[in-house]
Amino acid sequence: MADSIALTESTYYILLSLISPQHGYGIMQQVEQMSGGRVRLAAGTLYGALNTLCDKGWIILLPSEDGSRRKEYKLTEKGKNILIQEVNRLRELADNGERILKEV
């Protein structure tokens, strides 16, 4: 699959936070919480990433209420598959690392 790539940590956490629809500020909070404070997304970085992920079809912008400036995003089926591939890739990396380190 052409989209089978290693995700950045920020992209991984953004996708993970969008399992349920979420607005930008909620994504920033959830990413920081999931990463134990290691990953902190600035607004410009987040919205740039969200635009890129929308362009790739991994997430969608949900329709907003009239007059609302709040934008909510949701993971697509394609995005969910990318996330599953990444979890499997990371699991393989960890398993190989543990196996080899046990031999040392």
Six-digit token string for 98: 């543990």
Q: Which two tokens stand for residue 90?
A: 């990371």
What is the tens place of the pLDDT at every residue in 74-96? 999 999 999 999 999 999 999 99
Domain boundaries along the sequence of the chain: 9-103
Q: Using CA of residue 55, residue 77, residue 6, residue 73, what is the dihedral sign?
A: positive
- pLDDT tens-digit series, residues 21-79: 999 999 999 999 999 999 999 999 999 999 999 999 999 999 987 777 789 999 999 99
pTM: 0.89
Instruction: Strands of 1-104 (E only): list them.
Output: 22-23, 59-61, 72-75
The residues with which 99 forms a beta bridge, in sequence order, are: none
Distance, in Å, from the CA atom of 9 to the CA atom of 13, rounded to the nearest integer, reads 6
Query: May I ask the CATH architecture of the domain 9-103?
Result: Orthogonal Bundle (1.10)
Give CA–CA dist 17/49, Å, rounded.
Answer: 13
